[in-house]
Amino acid sequence: MRWLLLKDLQILRRSPLLVSLLVIYPIVIAVLIGFAISRGPAKPRVAFLNEVPPSASVLELNGEKIDVAQYGKQVFSRIDPVYVKTEKEAIAKVKSGDVLAALIIPADLTQKLSGGTGSANVRVYYNAEDPVKAQFVQDTIKAEVQDANTALTKQFTKIALNYLDLISTGGNISIFGKSFNVLGLAKSEAIVNAAQSGLPANSPLRTALGQVSNFARLARQNLNLSNGVLAAVGTPIKADQKIINGSRTPLDAFAVAIAVTISLMFVTLLLASGILALEREENAFLRLVRGLVSRTGLLIEKIGLAALCAILVSLLMLAGIALFVSLAWGRFPLWLVSLVLGGLGFGAMGVAIGGITREVRAASLLAFMLALPIAFLALVPSGAVSSGLYDVIRVISALFPFKPTLDALDAALNKSGSIGLPLVHLAILTVAFGVIARLSLRRFA
């Protein structure tokens, strides 16, 4: 069998174009898909005009100074600002397509915010000739304004709480540069109680003072509850996230697993199906199985060679990725086990394809036709489609090695979930596809 293996390597070595395509194509596809999945759209270029004069960017509430410009920075976290000098210039940039949208902060923004009489408006201009682009701009600006609102609300809430605390416990307050002392409900209650106890037992004022004292106590107690109420107003709904299935793999790390799995799949499927079909195209199959090599041995050699080449390509890819993304090299044995079983699974599927199609071109075409849908189906997240359809997709994905390989690699690379089950799954698929391939050899010659 080793001579056969060497022969196939020799043939590959003499097919540099094929080998280059086999290596480069899957890597390019994998990297593109990985990037598409891991990265959202780049920060949109947005023309930005802040008409608020620097001297007016700070608003003062109850002695608390709020710099609105600070909250503007929050908007810039998701956009690439292009500073302009006039609103006209901003609109021109939107029209020319130089920027996706324009965001204008009017001069009276802080004034309106400090007045507290209504919402302060910002102006947004964008082209809507492309509905996707328009939706993207709307979503981005809406999200950014919402974030700024939340941040400002928190600040206003903090000030309101200070006021309430002052009313409850008393203290000093500064208004228009003058300092005032506020008695506060707690001290008022104490004073009223002291006055009440100084009155004769039958004084009619006792009852009246008792009512005032009760009011002060109840008001103070209820004001203590206002902290929570106001905090809830600031952030009425909080998302408490708990993972039911899957793992908390960062998107970049998951993209690495996807990219490597796609490369592994393409190289192994194309190579295994092609080199088996080549034995028939060269008319060598019958000569080989006429006592020189068993049919099963021939399949094992093809699966092994394809898996070996694909594992090497995948490891090279991981080494390259490691230059940009931090990978846990301490888990290398687990990477290797995942790659080996994934490679064997795809290799067995590849020889099944080669055995059924019996021609190199037909085998390559079928391998391509199967590979892409299998990969995309395995990446459909739950909830993206109806539950019935998702169940069908899960069953289909389970019939091919992509999903378990991805799960195993994700577990190996990103410590997410169990690695055992996907590996067992892959072993079962390897045997199943191996049996299909072996049966297909009955009518191979």
Partner 1 sequence: MQQDSAQATPAGAGERAVVLEAREIVKRFGEREALKGVSLEAGRGELVAIIGPNGAGKTTLLSILAGIQRADGGNVSRSPAEVGWVPQQAAVYSKLTVAENLRLFARLEKRPDVADVVERMLAQTGLEERRDDPVAQLSGGNKQRVNIAIGLLSAPEVLLLDEPSAALDPRQRERLWEFILDLAATGTTVVYSTHNVQEAERHAGQVVVLADGEKLFAGSPRELEQIVGATDLDFEEAFVAFLRQRGH
Judged by CB under 8 A, the chain residues 168 through 187 that form the site for partner 1 are none
Are the CB atoms for 180 and 193 separated by under 8 Å? no
- Only segment of 3-11, 61-69, 88-96, 135-143 that touches partner 1 (CB under 8 A): 3-11
Q: Tell whether residue 294 is a contact of partner 1 (CB under 8 A).
A: no
Residue 378, token pair as written in the block: 């395995």
Q: Tell whether residue 3 is a contact of partner 1 (CB under 8 A).
A: yes
* 250, 287, 332, 385: residue in contact with partner 1 (rule CB under 8 A): 287
Q: Tell whether residue 292 is a contact of partner 1 (CB under 8 A).
A: yes
Residue closer to partner 1 by CB (options 95, 287) is: 287
Q: How many residues bind partner 1 (CB under 8 A)?
A: 18
- Quote the least distance from Cβ 357 to partner 1, whole Å: 19
- Quote the least distance from Cβ 14 to partner 1, whole Å: 5
Residue closer to partner 1 by CB (options 288, 380) is: 288
Residue closer to partner 1 by CB (options 15, 172) is: 15
DSSP assignment string, 211-245: HHHHHHHHHHHHHHHHHHHHHHHHSS-------SS
Residue 180 parent element (H or E)? strand 178-182
Residue closer to partner 1 by CB (options 283, 326) is: 283
- Quote the least distance from Cβ 280 to partner 1, whole Å: 10
d(CA 176, CA 6): 91
* 28, 229, 286, 385: residue in contact with partner 1 (rule CB under 8 A): 286
Number of CB atoms found within 10 A of residue 123's CB: 14
Residue closer to partner 1 by CB (options 283, 387) is: 283
Q: Tell whether residue 11 is a contact of partner 1 (CB under 8 A).
A: yes
- Quote the least distance from Cβ 439 to partner 1, whole Å: 17
Q: Tell whether residue 20 is a contact of partner 1 (CB under 8 A).
A: no
Number of CB atoms found within 10 A of residue 12's CB: 17
- Quote the least distance from Cβ 22 to partner 1, whole Å: 15
Q: Is the dihedral of CA 2, 8, 14, 16 positive or negative?
A: negative
* 131, 204, 236, 291: residue in contact with partner 1 (rule CB under 8 A): 291
In terms of DSSP bridges, do strands 80-83 and 101-105 run parallel, antiparallel, or are they unpaired? unpaired
Residue 182, token pair as written in the block: 């506020």
Residue closer to partner 1 by CB (options 73, 287) is: 287
* 60, 130, 282, 391: residue in contact with partner 1 (rule CB under 8 A): 282
- Only segment of 11-19, 231-239, 251-259, 314-322 that touches partner 1 (CB under 8 A): 11-19
d(CA 158, CA 66): 11
Taking CB atoms within 8 Å and a gap of at least 24, the contacts of 59-65 are 59/110, 59/111, 59/113, 59/114, 60/114, 61/114, 61/156, 61/159, 62/159, 62/162, 62/163, 62/173, 62/174, 63/173, 63/174, 64/155, 64/158, 64/159, 64/162
Q: Tell whether residue 41 is a contact of partner 1 (CB under 8 A).
A: no
- Quote the least distance from Cβ 13 to partner 1, whole Å: 9
Q: Tell whether residue 288 is a contact of partner 1 (CB under 8 A).
A: yes
Are the CB atoms for 69 and 81 separated by under 8 Å? no
The Cβ-side half-sphere exposure at 85, using a 13 Å CA radius, reads 0
d(CA 445, CA 285): 7
b/e sequence 175-190, b meaning 16+ C-beta within 10 Å? eeeeeeeeebbbebbe
Residues interacting with partner 1, by CB under 8 A?
3-4, 7, 10-11, 14-15, 282-284, 286-288, 290-293, 445
